[in-house]
Structure 1
Amino acid sequence: MPPHLIERWAARHAVDAARRLAEAEDLADAVAQEITPDNTLDTYTKSWRVWQRFCRSTGLPEREGSRGALVAFVAWMLREGQQNGTGYAPSSASTHLAAAVVGLRERGVKVSGDDQAEARAALEGLAVQLLQAGERRGRGQAVGADVDGLGAVARACPDTLTGDGDKALVLTGFHYASRSQDPAGLITGDVTVHPRGLVVAVLTGKTKHSVRNAKIRYADNPEICPVRAWTGYRTRLVAEQGERWADPSTPAFVGIDRWGHVTGGMGPDSVTRAIMRISTRAGVPIAWTGHSLRIGLASTARRKGRDGIAIADQSRWARHSRSMLGYMQIDDGWDDNAAAGLT
């Protein structure tokens, strides 16, 4: 707490009130820390380290967020900002810029909106120059899962508890368009068996959270049915690992080591690694990532003629979300072509 702020409060409200206001500020900071997602805090930490490397490299003061410093930061990131001396992709540079501004403000540095906007405009302009020069950076959009891939995954899963868990993770995740953090956050009580399928209570929203019940129906093809995969996996988990895993408070998906021992609940990173491992074992042409199931639901549903609002509701996107529209990938642009049949 800055001493000058406490002194101002004391002069205005007396010492006891100033002390209570300072304690309230500390509480507010603690609450903000508690409700900020771990991955967001991790991004802030990494981006501040990037800012510190920039300042050491250029000799600029670390706690100064002037227009020139921010624009220089952007140019440095695109030119040589990575640890190996190569430039960042514009999307990564954008993330680091935003997080570095947060870090500066948290440390009491004044950063004006105009200065930040000018740095962002510089970033966009430099990114266009990279494209014009034929340079494309970044991994691009992850490949989406598809029905053929789901079948290959189901056939490649061994007849073990690990195999059953892998199958349930992928098949259920595809049908509610999961991000890697979604299955990691589920507990057993979040998944309810219904006469027509499953109801999965998924925490939705990156900043403003709510719970949405995604409904997953029985599939016509038993081989890739998410409901059968889930019930088979959970039945086997309880049979082999004990009744305690039937408790609604236990993790919905668990990690299992090479000896068949449960290691605990899965985190987002372990879910991403599992999906890559599962898809590689199945021999899909390009290994899936933690976002492939989410992309796959949107693009597959779109190709099968599902309404965009229905896709958004199932997937927990805002209706008419730009991200969702981007995920509705069109394979070759011929079947779903806005210009087709107009003349």
Structure 2
Amino acid sequence: MTTLTPPFDTAAGDAAETESAPAPPDPAAAERQALIERWAQRHGIDVARRLAEAEDLADAVGKEITPENTTDTYAKSWRVWTRFCAATRLPEREASRGSLVAFVTWMLREGQQNGKGYAATSASTLLAGAVVGLRERGVAVSADDQAAARTALDGLAVKLLQNGERRGRGKAATAHLDGLRAIARTCPDTLAGARDKALTLTGFHYASRAQDPAGLLAGDVTLHPRGLIVSVLTGKTKHSVRDAKIPYGEDAELCPVRAWTAYRTRLAAEADPHWSRPAAPAFVGIDRWGRLTGGMGPDSVTRAIKRISARAGVPLAWTGHSLRIGLAVAGRKHGKDSVVIADQGGWARHSRSLQGYFVIDDGWDDNASAGLT
């Protein structure tokens, strides 16, 4: 497609270029060294050394409190940026308007390691992460140049759609009550089956993401006379804990509280006592032979939800995000206030993503074409 062809050759360098260029100086390291020298002039060498140690501590604390998924995204973005620079023979530590526009063009055209282009949403995330990586390395990236790259990305994404290209997985399927009932009835009478039922029913009722049950400890889920209180760690950059309250269900078959109690009772009876301690994972991995393998991670939660829904015959397989969408849609359909739904699922009260989930249901009930024919 001609709109995604950059104005330079991405082939390897000329044969005459047999010697690799020396590594460029690190602007961030040079800036830190200059700062230490200024401190030494003002306060003496000993004080400058202590101030430098304090800076190192601040850097270490910053890394410690940054969520792992954010760190992973930044690291991946920088790897993609360096692959782009190697392919185009552009310097890694320059961020001009042209290089950023070329970067998003390259990502959409061939950026993946298999030679295929990224989806526009992935390219947007990688662009943001690459900009963070450049700035961490002392490279100035102007807001105007970054905006130009985003404008190019948006325009090229439209071109892809016009040419019939659909990239990415799209939105997750929405969990629904019929599917939950089918899941409850098809979970086998085993420890793994009890875990599957509890994982799905509790996750639906507090609008879980895949990482939420993966991060829960047994002590984070407490019984209350009226149901369960699930203390969920939330926030991508500013962490907090929301206490999601899950009442007993009127329908015993779909009751998340009863499902949780049955799972934990069976776990206590069949597994080593240390799995029932408050510091143990709330949801444990269980292999095909019934052996416990440790706490479930986000990927294993997603795989489990997909497997559980497929076993129940749900037409569109669910993912780790399906339960989250399902609570929003079902709550809206049953007349729950949007603020109440937001608080239960940990959304901001005016969240655009939450409003988008509402449209899934509202688009049918409040529809300009409904009843006209």
Range into which the TM-score falls when normalised by the shorter chain? over 0.9
Deviation at 1:337, TM superposition (A): 2.6
- Alpha-carbon distance in 2 for matches of 1:216, 1:226: 8
Q: Which amino acid aligns with 2:65?
A: I
State the secondary structure of the residue aligned to 2:104.
helix
Q: How many residues align?
A: 342
User: Could you list the per-position Cα deviations for residues 50-72 of structure 1 after superposition, in whole angstroms to 9, with x for gaps in the alignment?
Assistant: 11111111111112112111111
Contact 2:77/2:130 (<8 A) preserved: yes
Q: Which residue of structure 2 aligns with residue 309 of structure 1?
A: 339
1:101 aligns with 2:131: yes
- Alpha-carbon distance in 1 for matches of 2:262, 2:344: 24
Gapped runs of 5+ residues in structure 2?
A: 1-28
User: Could you list the per-position Cα deviations for residues 182-233 of structure 1 after superposition, in whole angstroms to 9, with x for gaps in the alignment?
Assistant: 1111111111111111111111211111111111111121111100100000
Q: Which amino acid aligns with 1:146?
A: H
Deviation at 1:131, TM superposition (A): 2.8
Deviation at 1:130, TM superposition (A): 2.4
Q: Which amino acid aligns with 2:270?
A: E
State the secondary structure of the residue aligned to 2:106.
helix
1:49-88 to 2 correspondences below 5 Å = 49-88=79-118
Identity of aligned residues (%): 74
- Alpha-carbon distance in 2 for matches of 1:290, 1:117: 33
1:203 aligns with 2:216: no
Q: Which residue of structure 1 aligns with residue 217 of structure 2?
A: 187
What is the TM-score with the length of structure 2 in the denominator?
Answer: 0.88
User: Could you list the per-position Cα deviations for residues 262-287 of structure 1 after superposition, in whole angstroms to 9, with x for gaps in the alignment?
Assistant: 11111111111111111111111111
Contact 1:71/1:122 (<8 A) preserved: yes
Deviation at 1:127, TM superposition (A): 1.8
What is the TM-score with the length of structure 1 in the denominator?
Answer: 0.95
1:1-343 to 2 correspondences below 5 Å = 1-2=29-30, 3-331=33-361, 333-337=363-367
State the secondary structure of the residue aligned to 1:252.
coil
CA 9–338 in structure 1, closer or farther in 2 if over 3 Å, else same: farther
User: Could you list the per-position Cα deviations for residues 248-272 of structure 1 after superposition, in whole angstroms to 9, with x for gaps in the alignment?
Assistant: 1111111112222211111111111
State the secondary structure of the residue aligned to 1:216.
strand
Deviation at 1:96, TM superposition (A): 0.5
Moved more, 121-130 or 271-280: 121-130
Deviation at 1:165, TM superposition (A): 0.3
- Alpha-carbon distance in 2 for matches of 1:38, 1:332: 36
Q: Which amino acid aligns with 2:343?
A: D
- Alpha-carbon distance in 2 for matches of 1:185, 1:294: 16
Gapped runs of 5+ residues in structure 1?
A: none
State the secondary structure of the residue aligned to 2:112.
coil
State the secondary structure of the residue aligned to 2:364.
coil
- Alpha-carbon distance in 2 for matches of 1:334, 1:192: 38
User: Could you list the per-position Cα deviations for residues 149-206 of structure 1 after superposition, in whole angstroms to 9, with x for gaps in the alignment?
Assistant: 1011111111000000010000000000001111111111111111111111111211
Contact 1:303/1:330 (<8 A) preserved: no
Moved more, 11-20 or 152-161: 11-20
User: Could you list the per-position Cα deviations for residues 273-307 of structure 1 after superposition, in whole angstroms to 9, with x for gaps in the alignment?
Assistant: 11111111111111111111101111111122211
CA RMSD of aligned residues (A): 1.8
Deviation at 1:133, TM superposition (A): 3.2
Contact 1:170/1:275 (<8 A) preserved: yes
Contact 1:70/1:116 (<8 A) preserved: yes
State the secondary structure of the residue aligned to 2:246.
strand
Moved more, 1-10 or 152-161: 1-10
